[in-house]
Structure 1
Amino acid sequence: MEKVWLKSYPPGVPAEIDVNAYRSLLDLFLQSCHKFADRPAFHNLGTTLTYSDLERLSLDFAAYLQSLGLARGARVAIMSPNLLQYPVAVFGILRAGLVVVNVNPLYTAGELEHQLKDSGAQAIVVIENFAATLQKALPNTPVKHVITTHVGDLVPAPKRWIVNYVVKHVKKMVPAWQIPHAVPFRTALAKGAGRKLTDVPVGHDDIAFLQYTGGTTGVAKGAMLTHRNMIANMLQARAWIGNGLEEGKEIIVTALPLYHIFCLTANGLVFLNLGALSLLITNPRDMAGFIKELKPWRFTFITGVNTLFNGLLNTPGFDALDFSGLKGALGGGAAVQRAVAQRWQQVTGHPLIEAYGLTETSPAVCINPLSSEFNGSIGLPIPSTDVSIRNDANEALPLGQDGEICVRGPQVMKGYWHRPDETAKTITPDGWLRTGDVGNMDPQGYVRITDRKKDMIIVSGFNVYPNEIEGVLAMCPGVLESAVVGIPSEKTGETVKAVIVKKSADLTEQVVIDFCRQHLTNYKVPHVIEFRKELPKTPVGKVLRRELR
């Protein structure tokens, strides 16, 4: 196939990466820890871990896990927001030759039970704020070992005692729980410190992460992401954004949860490889608190989703932050809206770049050049990545024609854990991953998403894509956030409904409809408007259209 996108590559970006540059994620991790030993790696709750701290603590945790008798390839779950314990646990699990199962801390007991059973997890690290949920799920799972941690466990005393006391007794954020034989995280580290780690041979084909996806569309499935998948995507993303970034000098804002694949690879691996300092934001939904945490820092990079950037822009004090060091802002996980990108540029003086990926691709597939203005596309296929627009018969379509976006490259998952049927539906015999996204590619190689197949609304036989309408609504004065879904209509089969969160109290249905009529053909104009105080979202900030439907 002709890779038309290569002619649009920024200077210095290679067409291919060498996935054999690292033998495993452990190789990558240890090289960074030794190269940047004295540099700060992660900062949270006023405490900074250096790369040598991270290497030592992860070694202690790995040795403790091995002392439990966990065999090579055993699954260990982590249920935690962005705290210093998270990278220590992740790299400790990997160093012990085990597989990380990332768990959303906001799961219900039923969702947690499903994931622990499905993955066959034998151990779990859980922040005690969610231990009550684990307690309910535990009896029906294969989990034998529970390691619990307090929010401030890696903060030095006496501040650690104060933080943990306030979280538990003042803010009352820890529901009562009781799990016999649970081991405190600090105890696990202390026990591991006295043990020798046994080297476990781990290679490219070994699974590094079981990353669950599809929970909003049915039963969650575990994408098997190998060491090769994750190394490849780290190298692909680094090759793309590396120009202009300096090793050992970057400061990245890590507000998205590290248990989410976008942040895990972009912030957790790419910037680790660069020797950057990662500012861990534990609760980005507290926008005022988030901005207060950013105030002392001259940060150089930030990743997020559209709702996060929109939220920052609409919070007092954000425009007063120091953006003089900012080199890039990368949006993914959901479509970046033009109105948000334009306002971001006005406030910060830097473009908000849209990227595209999936859990199944580790995740990056396409990224816009960092220097580009907002163009409404998801960017160009990154190095060593093929993108093809295909019909339902798996035939490639001409440039400019809408079809399903299909991806092939070293970042494509091994398959779904214990789901060969689902794997066969998603990955074609010749290696193309069907994304479920509808879009097209222009002659320069830029890819545009029209929408998710399942989210498309059909009005009188015409295809209507919610992303397009939400982009228009984002420009409407008085609209803070919106989501568009199809609802049944006797007249047209389906009609368009817009669910809106107001920025201005005097916004009315008629104002919204009149505004849309100026920008959209009649069948795309929402005929039903509902105002709400908030939209249902995933923890990462993706709007759950399915719940609205």
Structure 2
Amino acid sequence: MTASANTPLPSADPVGGEDRPWFKYYPEAVPSVIKTVEERSLSDMVRNAAKHHGDKTAFSNLGGKLTFNDVDRLATDFAAFLQTELGLVKGDRIVIQMPNLMQFPVAFYGALRAGLIVVNANPLYTVTELKEAVHDAQPRAIVVLSNFAFKVEELLEGSSLEHVVITDAADMLSQPKRAIINFAADKIKHMVRKYSIPNAVSFVTALKQGAAATWKDPELTPADVALLQYTGGTTGGTKAAILSHWNLLNNQEQFMGQIRDTLGEEKQPVIIAALPLYHVFALTVNAIGFYRFGAHNVLVTNPRDLKGFVKTIHKSKPDGLMLVSTLAAALMDNEDFAKDDHSGLRITVAGGMALRSSVGERWKKITGKDITEGYGLTEASPVVAVNPTHMPPRIGTIGIPLPSTDVRIVDEDHQDVELGAPGELAVLGPQVMSGYWNNPEESANVLFDGGWLLTGDIATMDEDGFLRIVDRKKEIIVVSGFNVFPGELEDAAMLNPKVSEAGATGVPDEHAGEVPKLYVVKRDDSLTADELRKFLKKRLAGYKRPHQIVFVAELPKTNVGKVLRRALKDLDAEAAAE
């Protein structure tokens, strides 16, 4: 899609119109169409947020805070640095690799304000995984937390990266607190591994240089690409969904419309952002949606530090919590959280993975509040459907489609199935990506008939439009909200010369929801599970590695030799687990 600064905004009308069941049954809960988004780009949104919310707190973390005016000013400074000092131009890619810190929104919005395309990188990526993303996206620059700079050093030579900006955890705090926390992280807690990148620039220096430079407006349009978000998509592998300013702005409006009604505007809401901003769910909901609404986002850098996380919740007295099912379960197991006063909590949203009904029921019992479950995928920016926030949730469903979103349940020929019958969930709306970056073949596999997106998930629809996911066509293993593709794990294992064949599947786990389990046919009888684990540690992020390795004589296969992953668990009775 091409556009100019004067191009009218595209329509956000759903194809199906108001005859769809969710519009007929719940016209007040889910209007058919969202209102037109005022801003033409996320850069415009940051400017307008500063104009409307000014000196209110936008983000807080590690005892510091940034106002909406601060974010607008610092993002402009960073944009000016990128343009004048690094010579980056509109359309160049820049990687951001860091957890939830106040530097993230500054770097993210600064990059977009310079007209760049952001490539989010999970800090848990191994060097191999990061190298694959860099090779695919061909970025010219990266902004990385010092804790992970050693990975950048390893892949720098021969890559497209020309510029490295390194930030320390407390860089957005004032002195002397900044120096104390950064020193403790490096010298006392030894959280920063040694690295050597001679021409790297510190984030603090970048902001100072940018403040002395002049930012030039790149004149962004709604159609310009804002984000390359890596995902395994339907088949796994390295693919980036192309998400435009239009996609992301519209999806937050689709999602936030009902949340604004639920929270009201009598006070500034405080929202706990515990999910990582490099994940598209938290990026769209927290960094874009709640930010545009004027909420105070409390950034949680390490939610696995449950004691510290619970203290943050207690101190913040939030109006809203953004969680995954497993994190909600962990909170309820914490005595301090369970006995705390949750009367001020007005909304809890579970995203990233399926909400277990037992978790939802227990949450209601402990907090007195419902958890709202929704559904989305990276290719849809990501939210597609949600249980309406001002109605009791229907447990076991993913709710109803968002405004300006149409869905179909289709068969293998893309024809609608009968109401109530299972089929693949297909989605159409302004949040749907234009395709995968530099991958027309995979794009054609998931997009059909003018923009309908095949999700790869098998679903059913109730008479009144509520959706249920009944199976995963993609066979994804979802570990604490993160997708693990069996093929990626299998391929990594088979790089070991002692492995003949490998098959991976997910098994239930109390803490992570699911964890990978690997079945292996040995090529060399000397291979041990520990040896294979050490081999995989160098090639896969921690959440992708198998929690169990089982050696078997052979793997179940189809008549064409494809591994039958669903039949792998049948091998347990005869397997020799190690």
Corresponding residue number in structure 2 for 1:21:
38
**Residues 1:211 and 2:229 aligned together:** yes
1:134 matched to 2:185: no
Paired letter, 2:285: A
Question: Post-superposition shift, 1:310?
Answer: 1.0
Answer whether contact 1:117 1:140 (CA < 8 A) is retained: no
| Structure 1 Cα separation of the partners of residues 299 and 276 of structure 2 | 9
The structural deviation recorded for 1:71 is 1.2
Partners of 1:544 and 1:361 lie apart in 2 by: 29
Correspondent of 2:374 among 327, 351, 355: 355
- The C-alpha deviation readout for 1:485-529, integer Å capped at 9, x for no partner, is 9xxxxxxxx9x99554599xxxxxxxxxxxxxxxxxxxxxxxxxx
AA of the residue aligned to 1:392 = E
| Cα distance, 1:217 vs structure 2 | 5.6
State the partner residue of 1:450. Answer: 470
After superposing the two structures, state which structure 1 stretch, 9-18 or 414-423, moved more.
9-18
The match for 1:154 among 161, 164, 172 is 172
Report if aligned partners of 1:408, 1:433 keep a CA contact under 8 Å in 2: yes
Query: For the residues of structure 2 that align with 1:79 and 1:41, how far apart are their CA atoms?
Result: 21
d(CA) in 2 for partners of 1:385 and 1:369?
14
For the 8 Å contact 2:120–2:278, the answer to whether it is kept is: yes
CA contact (8 A) 2:39 2:45 kept: yes
Would the alpha carbon gap of residues 544 and 302 (structure 1) be closer, same or farther in structure 2, given more than 3 Å must change? farther
- Structure 2 equivalent of residue 108 of structure 1: 126
Q: Distance in 2 between matches of 1:321 and 1:263?
A: 25
Asked whether the 8 Å contact 1:333–1:542 carries over to 2, the reply is: no
- Partners of 2:99 and 2:234 lie apart in 1 by 20
1:59 paired with 2:76, answer yes
Runs of 4+ in 1 over 3 A off after TM superposition: 215-218, 496-503, 538-549
1:180 Cα deviation after fit: 1.4
C-alpha distance in 1, partners of 2:465/2:319?
29
Matched, 1:316 2:335: yes
Superposed CA RMSD: 2.7
List per-residue Cα deviations over 1:120-141 (Å, max 9, x = no partner).
Answer: 1100000000000111111132
**1:170-202 alpha-carbon deviations (Å, 9 max, x no partner):** 110111100110000000000000111101111
Secondary structure of 1:212 counterpart: strand
Alpha-carbon distance between aligned partners in 2 of 1:3 and 1:421, rounded to the nearest angstrom: 32
| CA gap 1:270/1:384 in 2 versus in 1, 3 angstroms | same
Q: How does 1:279-294 map to 2 (within 5 A)?
A: 279-294=298-313
Q: Secondary structure at the residue paired with 1:296?
A: helix
CA distance in 2, matches of 1:194, 1:52: 18
Segments of structure 1 that go 5 or more residues without pairing to the other structure are: 457-465, 471-482, 486-493, 504-535
- Provide the C-alpha distance between the structure 1 equivalents of 2:547 and 2:29, rounded to a whole number of angstroms: 40
Pairs within 5 Å for 1:162-173: 162-173=180-191
User: Residue 392 in 1 paired to residue 412 in 2?
Assistant: yes
Give the secondary-structure state (helix, strand or coil) at the position aligned to 1:372. coil
Q: Distance in 2 between matches of 1:237 and 1:8?
A: 19
Answer yes or no: is the 8 Å Cα contact 1:41–1:48 preserved in 2. Answer: yes
What corresponds to 2:287 in structure 1? 268
How far has the Cα of 1:10 moved from its partner?
Answer: 6.2
Output the CA distance in 1 between the equivalents of 2:220 and 2:311: 42
* TM-aligned CA deviation for residue 261 of structure 1: 0.4
Task: Go from structure 1 to structure 2 and tell me whether the alpha carbon gap of 1:108 and 1:222 turns closer, same or farther (over 3 Å shift).
Answer: same
Question: Does the C-alpha gap of structure 1 residues 502 and 23 become closer, same or farther in structure 2, counting only changes over 3 Å?
Answer: closer
The 1:453–1:12 alpha-carbon spacing in structure 2 relative to 1, beyond 3 Å, is: closer
Equivalent residue number for residue 302 of structure 1: 321
Maintained 8 Å contact 1:365/1:382: yes
Question: How far apart are 1:286 and its partner, in Å?
Answer: 1.2
Counterpart for residue 408 of structure 1: 428
Aligned to 1:70, what secondary structure does the other structure show?
A: coil
Q: Which amino acid aligns with 1:88?
A: V
Of 26, 32, 36, which residue of structure 2 is paired with 1:9?
Answer: 26
SS in 2 for 1:395: coil
Query: Displacement of 1:24 after TM fit?
Result: 1.3
Is residue 297–residue 322 contact of structure 1 (8 Å, CA) maintained in 2? no
**Pick from 87, 91, 94: which aligns with 1:76?**
94
AA partner of residue 352 (structure 1): I
Residue 364 (structure 1) aligns with: 383
Matched residue of 2:262: which SS? coil
Q: What whole-Å deviation, never above 9, does each CA across 1:76-114 have from its counterpart, x for those lacking one?
A: 110000001000000100111111110001100111011
TM-score, reference length from structure 2: 0.79
Quickly say closer, same or farther: Cα 1:60–1:222, change in 2 above 3 A: same
- State the alpha-carbon separation in 2 of the partners of residues 361 and 545 from structure 1: 31
Corresponding residue pairs, total: 484
Q: Deviations over 1:274-328 (max 9, x none)?
A: 1000000000111111112222111001111111111111122111333122111
Q: 1:338: how far off?
A: 0.4
Question: How far, CA to CA, are the matches of 2:193 and 2:234 in structure 1?
Answer: 26
Pair 1:497–1:411, CA change in 2 (3 A):
closer
- CA change 1:131–1:40 in 2 (3 A) is same
Q: What is the aligned counterpart of 2:211 among 180, 187, 193?
A: 193
The aligned residue for residue 250 of structure 2 is 232
> Which of 273, 278, 282 is the matching residue for 1:259?
278
Helix, strand or coil: the match of 1:249? Answer: coil
| 1:13, distance to aligned residue in structure 2 (A) | 4.0
Asked if residue 429 in structure 1 is aligned to residue 449 in structure 2, the reply is yes
Question: Distance between the aligned counterparts of 2:508 and 2:55, measured in 1?
Answer: 50
After TM superposition, give the deviation of residue 216 of structure 1 in Å: 10
| 46, 51, 73: which one aligns with 2:63 | 46
Gapped regions of structure 2 (runs ≥ 5): 1-15, 487-502, 513-536, 551-564, 566-578
SS of residue paired to 1:140: coil
8 Å CA contact retained: 1:257, 1:540: no
The separation in 2 between residues aligned to 1:502 and 1:407, in whole angstroms, is 31
Question: Within 2, Cα distance between the matches of 1:455 and 1:225?
Answer: 24
Q: 264, 271, 282: which one pairs with 1:246?
A: 264
Q: Over residues 377-420 of structure 1, what are the superposed CA-to-partner deviations in whole Å (9 max), with x where a residue is unaligned?
A: 00000000001000000001111000000000110001100000
How far apart, in 1, do the equivalents of 2:178 and 2:375 lie?
39
Contact 1:334 1:542 (8 Å CA) reproduced: no
Q: Measured at CA, do residues 94 and 540 of structure 1 come closer, stay the same or move farther in structure 2, by a change above 3 Å?
A: farther
Opposite residue 419 of structure 2, the aligned amino acid is L
TM-score by length of 1: 0.83
What is the one-letter code of the residue matched to 1:302? L
